[in-house]
């Protein structure tokens, strides 16, 4: 009986005896493939160590103004809600985001009590830092915090207009703070 992808179950015949006997060329190809796969996967331990970022490197990278990808479990029966977001982080401190008071992500974060954030770049090398942790506080937003966040991502001459637009058109915001507990980071080299 075919399986999910149309393949037979393990140990079940799917064709003639000739199909069950691999040809010598096929065996040689599989041996070559296994050998090349082993070589590709045999990364020296020193290379793995160079890929992981040190604590100061990962904290400095996260402090740079990358667009984050915020993920939070919204419902148990589906994958997490993942959205792009501006964030702020100071090495050794908390990470904070701004969002609408009753936005979908704010509701999901309130319910879950925690979230994850990924920051990445692709040049000059592929590098990423992912943090996960509990919400440490949720406080009302202020004009100063809105300006501080916008100044990380926008040219100085656009900050005031953006903050005004956000205040008048997008409504109230809150600040959600997270204390990073788990870190995953790497520099994967040039592409």
CATH architecture of 53-189: Roll (2.30)
Alpha carbon separation from 69 to 16, 52, 66, 101, 130 (Å, rounded): 51, 20, 9, 19, 9
Q: How far apart are CA 146 and CA 170, in angstroms?
A: 12
Q: What is the mean pLDDT of the chain?
A: 83
Q: Model confidence at 5, in pLDDT bands (50, 70, 90)?
A: very low
Is residue 4's pLDDT more than 80? no
Residues 75-100: what's their mean pLDDT? 97
Question: CA–CA distance from 159 to each of 144, 147, 156 (Å)?
Answer: 11, 7, 5
Say yes or no to pLDDT of 139 above 80.
yes
Residue 160, classed as helix, strand or coil, is helix
Q: Which residue has the higher pLDDT, 35 or 117?
A: 117
HSE-up of residue 126 (Cα within 13 Å, Cβ side)? 5
| pTM score, whole prediction | 0.73
pLDDT digits (tens, 9 = 90+) for 33-78: 454 444 444 444 444 445 989 999 999 999 999 999 999 999 999 9
What per-residue confidence (pLDDT) applies to 190?
A: 80
Hey, is 18 helix, strand or coil?
helix
Q: Is the pLDDT of residue 162 over 80?
A: yes
Residue 8 has pLDDT above 90, yes or no: no
In the block, residue with structure tokens 């501080």 = 148
pLDDT at 106 over 90: yes
């Amino acid at each position: 009986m075919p399986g999910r992808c149309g393949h037979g179950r393990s140990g079940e015949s799917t064709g003639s005896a000739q199909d069950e006997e691999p040809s010598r060329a096929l065996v040689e190809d599989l041996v070559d493939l296994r050998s090349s796969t082993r070589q590709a996967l045999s990364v020296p331990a020193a290379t793995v160590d160079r890929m992981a970022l040190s604590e100061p490197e990962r904290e400095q990278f996260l402090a740079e103004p990358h667009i984050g990808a915020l993920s939070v479990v919204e419902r148990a029966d589906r994958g997490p809600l993942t959205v792009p977001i501006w964030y702020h982080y100071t090495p050794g401190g908390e990470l904070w985001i701004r969002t609408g008071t009753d936005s979908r992500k704010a509701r999901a974060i309130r319910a879950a009590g925690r979230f994850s954030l990924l920051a990445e770049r692709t040049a000059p090398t592929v590098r990423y830092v992912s943090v996960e942790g509990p919400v440490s506080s949720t406080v009302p937003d202020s004009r100063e915090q809105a300006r501080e966040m916008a100044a990380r991502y926008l040219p100085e001459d656009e900050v005031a207009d953006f903050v005004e637009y956000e205040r008048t058109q997008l409504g109230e915001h809150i600040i959600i703070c997270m204390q990073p507990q788990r870190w995953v980071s790497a520099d994967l080299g040039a592409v």
